[in-house]
Chains A and B, each alone.
Chain A
């Protein structure tokens, strides 16, 4: 699924877009968790086609994405990042989106449209 459709489905708005071409990228899988240890243990395969969905609004979400080579984070539950996170996202070249939806609803909508979790 193109990122454009992916974000439209869950009514996600951009917070930081590092890569302008991002919306034409294909995303096939998500990993959704507020626990970064779980993300570090579970995310495998092609991380560049994976979106990290989380409600963990602190720099460790970005650090985890960096370590895993994940380029896009979608924050749920309407949380807003502080300036330190925005600066760090730009430095790490990671794009951030946000939606007001709950994590369960976000994942449900995406799953219904063919996006899968980690195998």
Chain B
């Protein structure tokens, strides 16, 4: 398997003004290489939710994207903490620990992680107080 396209992005801590901008850039980049619109929408939704999570629940983070010649796109969302205390709770639709600030932005419905899992072809999450890493895969 060869990586055809690799991109790294940074989500700055507390940069609510630009929330979603990285996902928008990823969408544009993948659109340019001709990814099917329905798959692209699923990818965009997952990226946007994960990016928002990095802002409202974590101290920013890094996003990497690999498009490979085996017809897959893989994303790794890695934040530096503070981690998710109970992953089972976090994966339950409707469960939310979002702040009032997040709710004012229109987020905090408790649908983020369940929705990311729903739209992805593969989903893996690991969390500790040192940070959370989400790895997503999509078949093109």
- What size tier do the contact residues of chain A reach? 20 to 34
Interface contact B24-A35, CB-CB below 8 Å: no
| CB within 8 Å of B: which A13-30 residues | none
Q: Which of B19, B41, B106, B109 contacts A69 (CB 8 A)?
A: B41
Does chain A have a CB within 8 A of B44?
yes
Closest A-chain residue to B41, C-beta based? A69
**Residues of chain A at the chain B interface (Cβ within 8 Å):** 34-38, 40-41, 47, 54, 56, 58-61, 63-64, 66-69
Chain A residues with Cβ below 8 Å from B112 are: 37
The contact string, 1 if C-beta is below 8 Å from chain A, for chain B 15-48, is 0000110011001000000000100010011001
Chain B residues with Cβ below 8 Å from A37 are: 49, 106-112, 115
Interface contact B45-A61, CB-CB below 8 Å: no
Instruction: Tell me the count of chain B residues lying within 8 A, CB to CB, of chain A.
Output: 23
Q: Which of A54, A63, A69 contacts B48 (CB 8 A)?
A: A63
**Residues of chain B at the chain A interface (Cβ within 8 Å):** 19-20, 23-24, 27, 37, 41, 44-45, 48-49, 104-112, 114-115, 118
Given A35-B106, A63-B19, A67-B48, decide whether A40 and B41 contact each other with a Cβ distance below 8 A: no
Interface contact A60-B23, CB-CB below 8 Å: no
Per the bound structure, the CA–CA distance linking A47 and B112 in Å amounts to 20
Interface contact A58-B118, CB-CB below 8 Å: no
